[in-house]
Chain A
């Protein structure tokens, strides 16, 4: 017996209760009074389902607990429908950020009442007392320069005072009415991103703005999340697999995406798939959190990912398609890619420099089309029917090209059925020997010789001459895209002229693993091995090799080239359109699954069409006057083989041309009120469109983009909701503050010198400050944006309203529901916009009435507009507007007159209009006719009893709108899904409707999604299939049902022949390094040097573990888990260079501004690069900066907008505009900053 036992035995006699024989257990009765406390602590009165509309992509359903009318906490819902027996489940889903949300409800940062800037409110009240009319009062306040200056310069300096809802709404409404009357409805704008994160809240405001005639600003391109490569290659935007499909992948490359941090609830699928034998490769310059899951980690220098992808492509093309021919790959390329299509080879002009191979050298030109073949030239849309060679060498026009998509003649032929044709992948494969010709291809990887002006200017661009096999078709010397691809990738074949690498270890010639090693730092052997594994796995698994890609690779200026190199890997290996394979691009919560119903509601398309939707990046670039500091010559980006279309022009000039040609939308529109334009035309007895063309021709009317600093062209009124533009996405924050808002700012750059200014834009010596008259923000918490707003309206949180939510990451639609009524004076976004609309209607009865508005609408993708510019060839490039032939809808925007019944605005917003059924609802070229649905909604929601919308289905409650969105979308209404597929069946001649017929009778209602998350129905709105319970993966329908992609050839594109892409040398995937800002802008120091007692480093702004964008940074729980406040992560080497130790204050300074932060010194970081986590609001721990004497900025104080012309190309096939489909990106990764240690004594005021 041990000593302990003796003690225990002794204890038996000292206490009551029974002790077990082994002396381990004691049995007592009672003593549990304390339980009551804990039972009460965790008791609650009700549990309500809701979620978080925070653009985190998680779209997790949550249980919200309410006790005594107070929201107490939240836990994860567990009732997701099962994924099926062979896969892990979606449940559990959630993350610590979501679990911390309820803190906000009663937090000190909550906005509880309407606020107006004090200076403004006083001025408005005085003016209203004088005039007795809100609109006249607003005109006085903004019209008097001194008053306007006073309240605008007070922005961001406190002084918000409480106002009543009535008064705040009146001010906002008066500003809108005055602006529409005086300057035009296109001077009104709304910014609210990511409809999928709360469709009704987004839609209510968007409906208000767009029914007024104002423009909704795009966000996807503005966030730089939009991969331009997606429209370029697929003719579709961000159609990607759900996260459960990662389980189906057997080889996974995670490239520039930090799954555990940014896809927290989904990352488990990757962890689980590893148990199934999946190999995971992480490509990331830093030791990102995802890296710990990796079997292999490749760490390229930031921004050089394209070179690594090209080298991997080099290995795969050589080993699997040239040295050995993989039938699976070859067959896939023949059918599903533009690889076999013929491209004309055209001689370089006579003045071509010797470095490009000299005159006579050939360069790849335009696709050969039916128009080039005498026997087909007479066919409809012949210029848009591309040509390939059959096995016997005869030219064939296969089905499925863009030319087959439109017109009666080709009904039933828009499909990928090749019939008996067996395309030649290479012209060398056919009978008889082809010619071997040399072609010149651009390269951008050279190191410019210092001192050589020409080379410095081109920045390392050059030419590599390589050979391709070619044949003659008629007069044309042609080769296939595949042959060009091999040349571009440096994969030589015997007998071809030109410069070829001698092997993988040849670093001198672009494309090889050794070549990429010099650029990326990734060992050549590793690149080779991963490439082989990726391809071999695709063979062994039938295409289940996947690349998850994200913002790390996508936010660069040249990200389109990086992504095209990625997509080439998944297409060459036949992984696209296969479950478990292909691209998986994850950025924001982009997938609004019930997209048709949402678009109808948000655009107000049931009442008026077309809406004004503007490319966000261009809007802010002009509105914040960043164009005045830019002046980037396009020549500096152009290919050495360019034809001079961009000679002497800046990127801003390409924006102007793109707007003038209708390639991209451009609002504010013209330098005249579009309401007045119609009045003028009517007075003159002319068609408004003809009047506009005449005025443009005469030079009396100009696009607003040509003179953004003319007060007539200012955006006047902007409303922001569900967004925090000044704390999160506002690239060039200091320019926003200075020029748009007119308050203190730390802009340090000089304006562009005369020689570099855009020639097609008017330069005004005095840059305007404070262009914007009214910034209104709806939010439930104080953010960087509310601090600068003139009116702040208190919003309901996600636990206080009805709404809908969906995501790319899972196939469910689910609901928001109010756990409590909006507390204090808060209102839902839906209620707020209806409040404002009623005021607008009231004031409009006096000031506006019914007017006609002329909308200049861009040439749209998925419509016959994309046939406007055959071959993407410009015949009048460089001519001014007045000398061009102006044909609306062809050489310039469409001009459409729209009636605006302003007094009826509020009534119309609250009712479903007649156009939904009468004109149909169009999504990606499929027209849905919701006649039955409109009748059903009338019964479900009731009909409007009286007023201008009497008899229409009601939409005056948020729940009505939820029902309408679900009823009007194919994904949530089986009848519409089948209807859409049947329409596509007629066009394609392929069976499709069976994908939805099982679900034809299903109608997902709001009650259904309140009960539990509901999986959606396969619909032509998307390219994947959920049919039979399979996981969603993009392009499955294209591959399995031979439905064409929405591109020129109807296949996935390696090759692009739009003139502007030719000018940039980006016809094929090519490596373009990060911008050399020192070379392009003299005011930026050279990377890796020392300046102003600091280090010059690359400045990246990735996402943080403790926040979702700017949300949660200020949340007490997240502040407790992290350091909180602004941080800059840097390597020990860089820290040592400036004598900084961990947690010391540093200051980062560049031409765009200054930011103060604490240094986080970590081995995770590669030397030469710093991270400042995206979107730390200026509300927590932001001291005064030494460099500016102003509050120390935010992450975007160091960034700015840079436009890339290839993003602006339009009017042609897949390069045509659609909202959030194509547009210039607000890229920010190429930025450089100086970081230095600052005084450790920080002041806050």
Chain B
């Protein structure tokens, strides 16, 4: 069971994520979109969308810090566990509040604005469920094990983080996940499912975040590079013998 959840599932998810994204990019470029509904509703979106996305950026940074950076490194630069925990928990909690609030606004908007709801696909709904579950479980894990448990809380940097890194060394250590609180385990499983869905939802827009706009001149000229269209049958350029008769 541990192997299934903590070895097979991550690698399968990774495979689906990578292959799926490639497939989507290859075959559905016109569907590569946020499916923006700003046209239908603006007021709530202006509030909910930045709240959600900016909080998400903080959360992502927190996850990177917690999962990728080994505990030994932070200790090496003189950050004691207590300090790390304090920063991670409180910054994480603030971001989680923002994230959940943003999500609730967006879901409320999606459900109550009829035009937006009509523009919601089944895939959108599944994705929303996964996204919401993943966020709520993550938040709950933080609240349960870090805030309510007293002391310095559960130290996932001893278990989850090394396991996560072990996946990347291709020497997975599922044993590390034994005894990890259920809230974290659930959060992880749901997160894997979310990543497996990712390529098939509007979440692909994450790869197209318009970061470049900050650095790009606003008028772009693209000159033609050869003929952009394959000639139709019978209209190919002449390929006969050259005039010199070689």
Contact = CB atoms under 8 A, between A and B. Distances in A.
B40 to A, nearest CB: 15
Interface stretch (B124-132, B144-152, B220-228): B220-228
A23 B220 CA distance: 11
Interface string B223-246: 111001110000000000000000
Number of contact residues on B: which range applies?
Answer: 10 to 19
A67 to B, nearest CB: 13
A36 B228 contact: yes
Nearest to A23: B217
Interface string A4-15: 000110110011
Interface stretch (A25-33, A811-819, A869-877, A1084-1092): A25-33
A10 B217 CA distance: 11
Given A8-B215, A11-B216, A19-B217, A29 B228 contact: no
A29 B217 contact: no
A35 B220 contact: no
A2 interface: no
B218 interface: yes
B133 to A, nearest CB: 37
A40 B228 CA distance: 12
B223 A24 contact: no
A40 B223 CA distance: 20
Nearest to A18: B221
A34 to B, nearest CB: 8
A10 B224 CA distance: 26
30 contacts: A10-B215, A11-B212, A11-B215, A11-B217, A15-B212, A15-B215, A19-B217, A23-B217, A24-B217, A25-B217, A25-B219, A26-B216, A26-B217, A28-B220, A28-B221, A28-B223, A29-B225, A30-B222, A30-B223, A30-B225, A31-B222, A32-B224, A32-B228, A33-B228, A34-B29, A35-B229, A36-B228, A36-B229, A37-B30, A39-B229
Contact of B223 (A10, A15, A27, A35): A27
Nearest to B224: A32
A160 to B, nearest CB: 34
Given A36-B229, A39-B229, A26 B221 contact: yes
A575 B215 CA distance: 69
Interface string B200-222: 00000000000010111111111
Contacts of A31: 222, 225
Interface in A30-69: 30-37, 39-40
B222 A8 contact: no
Contact of A7 (B214, B221, B223, B229): B214
B214 A29 contact: no
A32 B215 CA distance: 21
A39 B26 CA distance: 20
Nearest to B218: A24
Contact of A8 (B29, B217, B223, B229): B217
Interface of B: 29-30, 212, 214-225, 228-230
A633 to B, nearest CB: 55
B217 A35 contact: no
Nearest to A26: B217
B217 A20 contact: yes
Nearest to B225: A30
Contacts of A29: 222-223, 225
Given A8-B215, A15-B215, A29-B222, 7 more contacts: A7-B215, A10-B215, A26-B221, A28-B222, A28-B223, A32-B225, A39-B228
Nearest to B217: A26
Contacts of B216: 8, 11, 15, 26
Contacts of B220: 25-26, 28
Q: Give the 7 A-B residue pairs with the shortest CB-CB distance, closest first.
A: A11-B215, A30-B225, A26-B217, A25-B219, A26-B220, A36-B229, A28-B222
Contacts of B218: 24
Contacts of B224: 30, 32
A35 B228 contact: yes
A15 B217 CA distance: 11
A616 B215 CA distance: 74
Contacts of B212: 11, 14-15
Nearest to B30: A37
Contacts of A8: 215-217
A36 B224 CA distance: 12
A37 B30 CA distance: 10
A7 B219 CA distance: 15
Nearest to A12: B215
A19 B221 CA distance: 10
A1078 B24 CA distance: 70
B221 A27 contact: yes
A226 to B, nearest CB: 46
Contacts of A11: 212, 214-217
